[in-house]
């Protein structure tokens, strides 16, 4: 169903986004298409960080909107986080199309008008909104490219990502990486934001190692 | 470069083909983007089977032509194997476009005119050529879908596949599965067909287990 949805949205999802989705699918097979124990820990840590944020922003691209517009809307409402459309392959047609989909689930997303830049990225990729990512303290960037993730970290943002590949540069660069499938993970994250459980010390590098151990054991057994 | 080539070919590569390519990329990362020892054994077994074949056919789709038209041409010439274009998402435009690319590397591919069917597949997907797949004893089907692979096995063909996912239904169904990246593996396969080394007993299930062990150890270490 996810695959069909991505294909059906046509040019709103970049072709490179389809290839990236395939990489995720492969890791999800290896995870057994279930939320692994280390991901549950990362979800708790992410929820705490989101609760404590002053100006959280959810950065979404074509894949995220195609797969999880409703869940993103729910997370936005639960956490008072703004949603900003932020594209690697930015065109005004794609931004407008994604804006309309988010509008359909009750979210007035930022990103149509951009007045700020993310330092360290080239031209179109650097564009962002001053009232969104520009002034955010915490940025939630699911399915993000490694350069963008690094640039947000370099800006001093606290970066939370959701990425099925525990070895990707995004996973390795973010402060909190949830290695899980987007639509499976978001309801758990929303529950955790609502629930308010605190985490005592979260180490992203250690968590990613646990995920790799989990995958390795599954393959062996 | 492979990703760029797939995107550039536009509609000749199905969108589902882009997602499938992404799955392959993920497994190639886990393999360390190198031909693993069990794959070298599978290449030898495949070469022997191709040498002993009476009517070998290489079945190609959009991804295969996009990534490895020249290497397929080389394998075809070295092994006297016909090339047949065989598409999961078949349209006459796609067949013609792929036919032209193969013509550009000196191969007159079958598949534009189809007069035979692969039993067990639905409508468009079942179409094939009687002088190609229809009468082949050995079919080499890189990057193949699981249903098609199963149908060819059910027809009594000896099936060789090249697939980066050792757990895919295609990998598990074929008689010989080379778990390796297509353009890295084909020159090795061509050399092995030329070289003529014989293999003493090849067990595909055991070989796939060795690949899984190799991946699992790499992740752990």
State pLDDT tens for residues B77-96: 999 999 999 988 888 899 99
Chain B residues whose CB is inside 8 A of the A3 CB are 16, 19
CB contact under 8 A, A220 and B219: no
Distance from CA of B17 to the nearest CA of A (A): 9
Dihedral of CA atoms A45, A51, A53, A58 in degrees, nearest 10, equals 80
pLDDT at A91: 87
CB contact under 8 A, A18 and B19: yes
**Which residue does chain A place closest to B212, by CA atoms?**
A219
- For residues A98 and A65, is the Cβ–Cβ distance under 8 A? yes
CATH number of the domain enclosing A128: 3.40.50.12640
Closest Cβ–Cβ partner in A18, A217, A220 for B18: A18
Q: Is A83 exposed, middle or buried (0-12, 13-18, 19+ CB in 10 A)?
A: buried
For residue A110, give the DSSP letter: B
Residue B157 φ then ψ, to 5°:
-75, 150
Mutation site, B2, B11, B13, B23, interface A, largest A CB count within 10 A = B23
Domain of residue A156 covers 2-220
- Quickly list DSSP for A127-161: EE-TTTGGG-SEEE-TT--HHHHHHHHHTT-EEEE
H-helix or E-strand spanning residue B211: helix B204-220
Nearest residue to A87 via CA among A51, A129, A49: A129
CB contact under 8 A, B25 and A22: yes
Closest Cβ–Cβ partner in A22, A24, A219 for B18: A22
pLDDT at B161: 98
- Tell the residue number behind the tokens 């609760």, with chain if given: A51
Q: What is the pLDDT along chain A (221 residues), one digit of tens a residue?
A: 888 999 988 889 989 899 999 999 999 999 999 999 999 999 999 999 999 999 999 999 999 999 999 999 999 999 999 999 998 888 889 999 999 999 999 999 999 999 999 998 887 788 999 999 999 999 999 999 899 999 999 999 999 999 999 999 999 999 999 999 999 999 999 999 999 888 888 999 999 999 999 999 999 88
pLDDT at B208: 97
pLDDT at B122: 83
**Which residue does chain A place closest to B14, by CA atoms?**
A7
Which residue ranges in chain B fall short of pLDDT 50?
A: none
Name the 3-class secondary structure at B177: strand
- Tell the residue number behind the tokens 């960080």, with chain if given: A49
Number of residue pairs across A and B with CB atoms under 8 Å? 76
Q: Where are the alpha helices (DSSP H) in chain A?
A: 2-8, 15-31, 37-52, 62-79, 92-104, 123-126, 146-154, 169-173, 182-195, 204-220
Count other Cβ atoms within 10 Å, centred on residue B89. 15
Count other Cβ atoms within 10 Å, centred on residue A210. 18
Cβ of residue B167 closer than 8 Å to a chain A Cβ: yes
Closest Cβ–Cβ partner in A6, A15, A215 for B219: A215
* Residue burial B54-82, b: 16+ Cβ < 10 Å; e: rest: ebbbbbbbbbbbbbbbebbbbbbebbebb
In whole angstroms, give the CA distance from residue A173 to residue A163: 11
Nearest residue to B55 via CA among B110, B124, B104: B110
Nearest residue to A66 via CA among A100, A34, A27: A100
CB contact under 8 A, B19 and A25: yes
CB contact under 8 A, B215 and A219: yes
Per-residue tokens: B27: 């497994």
Closest Cβ–Cβ partner in A3, A18, A26 for B27: A26
Nearest residue to A179 via CA among A57, A33, A65: A33
State pLDDT tens for residues A10-66: 889 989 899 999 999 999 999 999 999 999 999 999 999 999 999 999 999 999 999
Mutation site, B9, B19, B215, interface A, largest A CB count within 10 A = B19
Please state the domain count of chain B.
Answer: 1
Chain A residues whose CB is inside 8 A of the B6 CB are 15, 19
pLDDT at B32: 96
Cβ of residue A213 closer than 8 Å to a chain B Cβ: yes
Cβ of residue B131 closer than 8 Å to a chain A Cβ: no
């Amino acid at each position: 169903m996810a695959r069909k949805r991505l294909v059906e949205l046509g040019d709103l999802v970049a072709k490179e986004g389809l290839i990236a989705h395939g990489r995720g699918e492969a890791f999800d097979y290896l995870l057994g298409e279930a939320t692994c124990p280390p991901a549950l820990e990362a979800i708790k840590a992410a929820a705490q960080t989101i609760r404590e944020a002053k100006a959280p922003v959810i950065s979404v691209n074509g894949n995220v909107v195609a797969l999880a517009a409703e869940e993103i809307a729910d997370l936005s409402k639960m956490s008072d986080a703004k949603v900003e459309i932020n594209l690697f392959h930015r065109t005004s047609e794609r931004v407008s199309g994604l804006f309309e989909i988010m509008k359909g689930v009750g979210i007035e997303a930022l990103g149509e008008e951009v007045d700020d830049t993310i330092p360290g990225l080239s031209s179109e990729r650097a564009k962002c909104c001053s009232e969104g990512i520009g002034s955010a303290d915490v940025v939630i960037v699911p399915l993000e490219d490694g350069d963008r993730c690094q640039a947000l970290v370099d800006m001093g943002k606290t970066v939370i990502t959701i990425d099925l590949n525990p070895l990707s540069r995004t996973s390795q660069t973010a402060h909190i990486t949830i290695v899980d499938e987007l639509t499976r993970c978001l309801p758990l994250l929303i529950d955790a934001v609502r629930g308010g459980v605190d985490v005592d010390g979260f180490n992203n590098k250690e968590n990613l190692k646990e995920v790799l151990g989990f995958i390795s054991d599954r393959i062996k057994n």
